[in-house]
Structure 1
Amino acid sequence: MTGASESGLRMPAEWAPHERCWMAWPCRPEGWRNGLGPAREALAAVVRAIARFEPVTLLVRPEDLDEAARLTRGAAELVATELDDSWTRDTGPTFVQDRDGQLAGIDWGFNGWGLVYPGFARDARLARHILGLADARRIVGPQILEGGSIHVDGEGTLLTTEQCLLDPQRNPHLDKADIEANLTGLLGIDAVVWLPRGLTGDETRGHVDNLCCFFKPGHVLLPALADRADPDWAVLAEARAVLERSVDAKGRRFTILELPTPPRRRDKRGELMALSYVNFYVANGAIVMPGFDAASDREAARVLKAAFPDREIVVVPGHGIADGGGNIHCITQQQPRAAPAG
């Protein structure tokens, strides 16, 4: 695998200008705690919120097109597509740009989050399909990787977790050095910050997009907890310790901005759910964040406004998406705006 300087590829930060947002319509009944009806209502609300700021292309099974059109109210371009479910952050491509600013995309392998869910063949083909629709050069990734497992600052630094990327159900043949070489060669990365693990109850087993993210180079958002009895207190303390002793690709120490943690919620089986305000979408001119019908929603919105002062903060109900095991960042995939050709 060639290094970043040789490949010329770079993954832009999520706050770089977007051409559009890619999403997919929920269609796996067993993947949603309260069924497809509430899931589709919740996802449609996210579509409508993002579409105020940038185009949305929504991939929908042919038999669901009428319902999707009704619920999204014309907010998105609908494309008939065979799907397994709606998590385009993980099943779609990772968009990158070459030295000339032209668009390409990494088609990573996908195996149902380390074989958590069976029946993922259609989603494993989704990245290639999206790249064809976007008319972007397709680059086959050399490993299993979901988009929610990485976050970049656009200047050569990447956040991830050891729990996810070193998962033996994903890439048992690769060690940390192999994975870092892949990230370097394909995403323009010079420094990988390995946080130990993701939030308790996260079905992805370690995705960083529920735990920590950049809001500008050298600056990260991290949830805070005061209750030492909470199972995530140690998770967040470990993450903070790593961030405090790390530097980014430019040699900068990290500034940590704390987000509140939503109130704890358990599902019908009594299992703790991984709710997080970190799981938001950066749109052109806006932050679309999940709300959890809690007093902490207002504080989270205030923190995000401080982090992104030039963007409108839009709060969309988050419980309906969380019922599927993720949230707004997980169901979205931004396509960066390419430089003009020529």
Structure 2
Amino acid sequence: MNSELEKFPKYYGFRMPGEWEPRRRTFIQWPVRDGENNRTNIWPDGVDEIKKIYSEVANAIAQFEEIVMIAPGKLYDEVRKYCGENVKIASYPIDDSWVRDNGPTFLLNEEQELAAVKWRFTSYGHKYETHYNDNKIPGHLAVEYDLPLFKSPLSIEGGAIHSDGQGTILTTESAILTSSRNSQFNKEEATELLKNYLGAENIVWLRTGLNGDLTDGHIDNVACFVKPGVILIQGCYDKDNPDYEIFQENLEILKNIKDRSSEMPYEIIEVEKPPIRYYNGQLLTLSYINFLPVEGGIILPIFGDDAFETDEKAIKLFTRIFPDRKIVTVNGTPICKGGGCVHCITQQMPLGKSL
């Protein structure tokens, strides 16, 4: 390539689409971090329970679109046993089960051609021991589906970014501008890199994510675009809740940005957060924002028990926001014990021209 600009997806007209745009398939990585071969066991109730939940999420998605489970070849029979025949299996070595974060971010251009971005995945700023195999997943999928792969010098995870599909990206400073991830870049430099690799014109930085979030505050627990011109944010109304001040600050930032396509302020919808919940002394980051839109449906985490009331409110709200989609609920609590939820364990590929 003859110029520095030609290294970037933006030069070729690629952009990060909104998650509501037509989709080809969704990926999940099978839970494998059981403590046997890894120093850190992230599943406090054991890996068997979480395998059941992952299979339930996969089969919920399979009602609407193709779902591909990425798993080591030696676990093929196990995945088939848990997931049944509706889930396709792609055999690659992996270290963990958060494909949103270590997998590629898929891009689309006006010709409906697909590309992928490989971020520099460091397992959340080197929080976990191994990430060698996870770091290779973007390359494997780019080869599998014959896609150009752009390699970014930024150390970020897919859960740290949300797109409106029209040139605006939501993110948090706490999950990107950390010394353990990107000490070599200042905010201005990180902003330009995000624009160039995501085909964006505007990066909206919230200061931080929610308390207890092991990712340092990914945006996919905080706020997201749900359609052009509309942002959904998790609201916190209890002044004694540690997330109250965070909510107030983030809400103020979002109220002061405009939709680039209409030059109008975004419509902001609030979904009440679940009650505070701890597990084995750990604050769980429960969030309805961590849902997954699929082709014709919404896979929505709910949390039960003391969250029954907010669960019901969330279901009614999502039904109103997405009147043409079927709302399918799944138990999000077991995934949250490991540090994420439905959005974190999935990664969507837009429709486009792909295999």
TM-score, scaled relative to structure 2: 0.92
Task: Specify the alignment match of 2:79 in structure 1.
Answer: 68
Q: Work out whether 1:255 is the aligned partner of 2:267.
A: yes
**Paired residues of 1:59 and 1:81 also in contact (CA < 8 A):** yes
Task: Specify the alignment match of 1:281 in structure 2.
Answer: 292
Q: Which runs of 5+ in 1 are unaligned?
A: none
Q: Which runs of 5+ in 2 are unaligned?
A: 35-40
Measured in 2, the distance between the counterparts of 1:48 and 1:315 equals 12
Aligned partner (choices 295, 307, 323) of residue 337 of structure 2: 323
Task: Specify the alignment match of 1:8 in structure 2.
Answer: 13
Task: Specify the alignment match of 2:238 in structure 1.
Answer: 227
Q: Work out whether 1:81 is the aligned partner of 2:86.
A: no
C-alpha displacement of 1:103? 0.8
C-alpha displacement of 1:50? 0.2
Give SS of 2:179's match.
Answer: coil
Q: Work out whether 1:179 is the aligned partner of 2:193.
A: no
Measured in 2, the distance between the counterparts of 1:44 and 1:5 equals 36
Q: Work out whether 1:207 is the aligned partner of 2:212.
A: no
Measured in 1, the distance between the counterparts of 2:346 and 2:54 equals 10
Q: 1:214 to 1:75 in 2, by over 3 A?
A: same
**Paired residues of 1:33 and 1:267 also in contact (CA < 8 A):** no
Task: Specify the alignment match of 1:95 in structure 2.
Answer: 106
Measured in 1, the distance between the counterparts of 2:132 and 2:173 equals 26
Task: Specify the alignment match of 1:153 in structure 2.
Answer: 164
Aligned partner (choices 17, 22, 45) of residue 17 of structure 1: 22
Aligned partner (choices 57, 63, 67) of residue 52 of structure 1: 63
Q: 1:48 to 1:9 in 2, by over 3 A?
A: same
Give SS of 1:214's match.
Answer: strand
Could you report, residue by residue, the CA deviation over 1:273-296 in whole angstroms, capped at 9, with x for unpaired residues?
111000000100000011111222
Detail structure 1 runs of 4+ shifted over 3 Å in the superposition: 1-7
- Give % identity: 36
C-alpha displacement of 1:7? 3.2
Task: Specify the alignment match of 1:35 in structure 2.
Answer: 46
Q: Which residue type is aligned with residue 87 of structure 1?
A: W
Measured in 2, the distance between the counterparts of 1:191 and 1:180 equals 9
Task: Specify the alignment match of 1:336 in structure 2.
Answer: 350
C-alpha displacement of 1:339? 4.3
C-alpha displacement of 1:330? 0.3
C-alpha displacement of 1:340? 8.2
**Paired residues of 1:191 and 1:248 also in contact (CA < 8 A):** no
Q: Which residue type is aligned with residue 278 of structure 2?
A: R
**Paired residues of 1:4 and 1:184 also in contact (CA < 8 A):** no
**Paired residues of 2:145 and 2:354 also in contact (CA < 8 A):** no
Measured in 1, the distance between the counterparts of 2:185 and 2:21 equals 31
**Paired residues of 2:52 and 2:82 also in contact (CA < 8 A):** yes
**Paired residues of 1:10 and 1:189 also in contact (CA < 8 A):** yes
Aligned residue-pair number: 340
**Paired residues of 2:107 and 2:116 also in contact (CA < 8 A):** yes
Give SS of 1:58's match.
Answer: strand
Q: Work out whether 1:264 is the aligned partner of 2:276.
A: yes
Q: Work out whether 1:129 is the aligned partner of 2:140.
A: yes
**Paired residues of 1:150 and 1:158 also in contact (CA < 8 A):** yes
C-alpha displacement of 1:209? 0.2
Give SS of 2:352's match.
Answer: coil
Task: Specify the alignment match of 1:216 in structure 2.
Answer: 227
Measured in 2, the distance between the counterparts of 1:83 and 1:72 equals 18
TM-score, scaled relative to structure 1: 0.96
Task: Specify the alignment match of 2:209 in structure 1.
Answer: 198
**Paired residues of 2:9 and 2:150 also in contact (CA < 8 A):** no
Greater mean deviation of Cα atoms: 75-84 or 103-112: 75-84
